[in-house]
Every structure is written in structure tokens, then in C-alpha cells.
Amino acid sequence: MAVVSELIRSESDGTISFGDYTKTEKSKLDDFKHAGDVYKVKTFKEITKLERNGMFVYESVPGTSVEHLEVTDEKLAFLVEGCEDANITLELEPETEYDITVNHNDAGKMKTNLGGKLSLSVELEVGSSVPVVVKKA
């Protein structure tokens, strides 16, 4: 997996890819249109953040690259790469329980807070992507 040098792009399978953790200076792209939604991405080595239609979707500290982000009513799935372990925050449905799988391993169940935020940690290393799947329990 490689960084997303164009900051955000549409994939042929209908998903999106975004983020470039190798950038030393903050970069952002507004008004990216995909499947009827408008996305905004901010990314560099310290943080990667994605918004859809003005609403928070994804944030990682430090920055990451995400490929094939798929969001449905029942799940959120993506491949993530970074230069070191990352804390990832996702916006999902409020007060809902989710089954989490990281790198094909069951990471247990987590419940979102009142705002719908779910935070998880992912062990990362350069040149290796880790699949993350978050499904409604």
C-alpha cells in the first residue's frame, strides 16, 4: 500500500482512499465529490482527518493513509497504513455496540458514546497495511 499522493481519490470499487502520513506540512483538500457526498481531508505526519458533508468521519493520530474506506449502514471497513501505531477515532451511530476486527483478529465489542465516537488503537508499520472492520453487533 502507498500513501495517497493526491490526498483523496475515488476507487473503482466505489470506495475512497485518503491521507498521506509522509507529509511534513499540513495539506488539505476541500469539496471532493464522491457518490453524491462532499468530502474534506486534512493530512500530514501528525494527524489525518476526514469529513463527509461537513460531519466528522475519521481521525488518526499520528497521520495515516487509508485505502478502500467503505461505509454502509451496518459496517465501516478500510485498510490503514502509518509509520507508527495510531489512535483512530470514528464517527458512527450514538450509543450503539460494534464488533471490531483489526488485522483479521477479533478486538472485541465496543459501544459508541452519546456523540457516536468510537476510538481504537492499531499497530502499524511502514509498508504494511492493516485491515479494520467495524460492524454493528
Encode the chain (137 residues) as per-residue pLDDT tens digits. 567 778 999 999 999 999 999 999 999 999 999 999 999 999 999 999 999 999 999 999 999 999 999 999 999 999 999 999 999 999 999 999 999 999 999 999 999 999 999 999 999 988 899 999 999 99
The pLDDT value given to residue 1:
56
C-alpha–C-alpha distance, residues 88 and 99, integer Å: 15
Q: Per this entry, what is the length of the chain?
A: 137
Instruction: For domain 8-136, give the CATH number.
Output: 2.60.220
Res 117: pLDDT:
96
Question: Tell me, what's the pLDDT at 26?
Answer: 95
pLDDT of residue 2: 64
The predicted pLDDT at position 66 comes to 97
Q: Are β-strands 65-71 and 75-81 bridged in parallel, bridged antiparallel, or unpaired? A: antiparallel
Q: Which sequence spans correspond to the domains of the chain?
A: 8-136
User: Residue holding cell 483478529?
Assistant: 105
For residues 42-59, one letter each, b for 16 or more C-beta atoms within 10 angstroms of the residue's C-beta and e for the rest, the string is: bbbbebbbbbbeeeebbb
pTM: 0.94
pLDDT at position 67: 97
92, HSE (Cβ side, Cα atoms, 13 Å)? 30
